[in-house]
Amino acid sequence: MSQQPPDRSTVSPPARPDASMSLLTNVMDHSLDDGYAEATAKRKADGSAAMPRTLKAKLGLAAGLVLAALVVTLGAAEARVSAPVLAKEREELIERIDTETSAADKLESQVDKARDDVGERQRKALEKHGGDQGQLVALLSGATAVRGPGVKLVVDDAKGTDQGGGGPRETTGFTDTGRVRDRDMQRVVNGLWQSGAEAISINGQRLTALSAIRAAGDAILVDNKPLVPPYTVLAVGDGKRLSTAFEDSADGQYLRALKDTFDIRTGMSVQDEVRLPAAPSLIVRTAEPKAADTGSGAADTGKGTS
């Protein structure tokens, strides 16, 4: 039986060798996505319409920059114009301050000179009317400067505390107990007087029988003059005896307790010589004895009636 050749019309053509690479071929043939191509063509078609919007934005940006530059320029010009005026006002103010300061210094010098003159007249009056006790009266009243052996006692706040004094330590309003108070200095001075001191000064301020140690805010005042720590107390007297008597006194023990409890710094030393100034504002009070009534009036009366 003869075999007939196959009908070519019914036989499918053989597959292409790159049939399995259709996706890669499609990518190679169409490297630019159709969407991108369409968008590019649309932008080209609308180029004439987009150009005005871009130009408008650029013009707006340029106008903003010009306005900002104008504002900065005007500010700099105004500052340059006002600078000489401010400098002139500043110089005038400095000149006024210097003038007033010079006037105040001159007045203060005059006050000091008048105070010294008054003090000298007071001392002469005491020496003249004090008799044999004139020098002792002048010493005890603080009218004259003194020097001699004595002790030096330094009292200072505890480390890490602010400068200044204050009211009594037992006042509950004070939380910083490491600071020296006015009552502390009162007890120190009273203890030195009781221990035999002949004259006392604190930070160069001479104490008298009328001196007052008070507090004003955070400052300790001696005769209304503020003092700054450390407080240096100088006392004239027998140095060794005065030092021993004070340390053994109740006030000396009080000062030692402040040191142990509140870390207040203290130190006492015997000095061969200490110098104390005269009290600056001493008020001299004088009195004249009144003649005693001897009864002469009664005698005259009796004489007249006899």
Convert the pLDDT of each residue in 83-106 to its tens digit.
Answer: 777 778 888 899 899 989 999 989
Buried b (16+ CB within 10 A) or exposed e, 246-281: beebebbeebeebeeebebbbebeebeebebebbee
* Same-domain status, 126 and 186: no
pTM above the 0.75 mark? Answer: no
Last residue of a domain, which of 144, 173, 205?
Answer: 144
pLDDT < 50 regions, the chain? 1, 48-50, 163-175, 295-306
Strand partners, 154: 232, 267
Give residue 23's pLDDT.
60
**28 located within any domain:** no
| pLDDT recorded at residue 164 | 45
Looking at the domain assignment, is residue 223 inside a domain? yes
Does any domain span residue 243?
yes
In whole angstroms, give the CA distance from residue 39 to residue 112: 98
User: 150 with 271, same domain?
Assistant: yes
Total domains in the fold of the chain: 2
If DSSP codes are grouped into helix, strand and coil, which group holds residue 276? Answer: strand
CA distance 209 to 179: 26
Co-location of 86 and 75 in the same domain? yes
- Asked whether residue 33 is domain-assigned, the answer is no
Within-domain flag for 225: yes
Could you list the residue range(s) of the whole structural domain that residue 79 is in?
52-144
Same domain, 119 and 69: yes
The verdict on 162 and 266 lying in the same domain is: yes
| Cα 271 from Cα 5, distance rounded (Å) | 148
Cα 208 from Cα 278, distance rounded (Å): 10
pLDDT at site 34: 63
- Report d(CA 129, CA 133) in Å as an integer: 9
Do 175 and 205 lie in a common domain? yes
C-alpha span between 69 and 65 (Å, rounded): 6
The answer as to whether 215 is a domain residue is yes
Residue 114 falls inside a structural domain: yes
In a domain, 258, yes or no: yes
Same domain, 136 and 160: no
Residues 102 and 184 in one domain: no
Query: Collapsing DSSP states into helix, strand and coil, what is residue 176?
Result: coil
* pLDDT on residue 187: 94
pLDDT attached to residue 200: 93
Are 125 and 203 a contacting pair, CB within 8 Å?
Answer: no
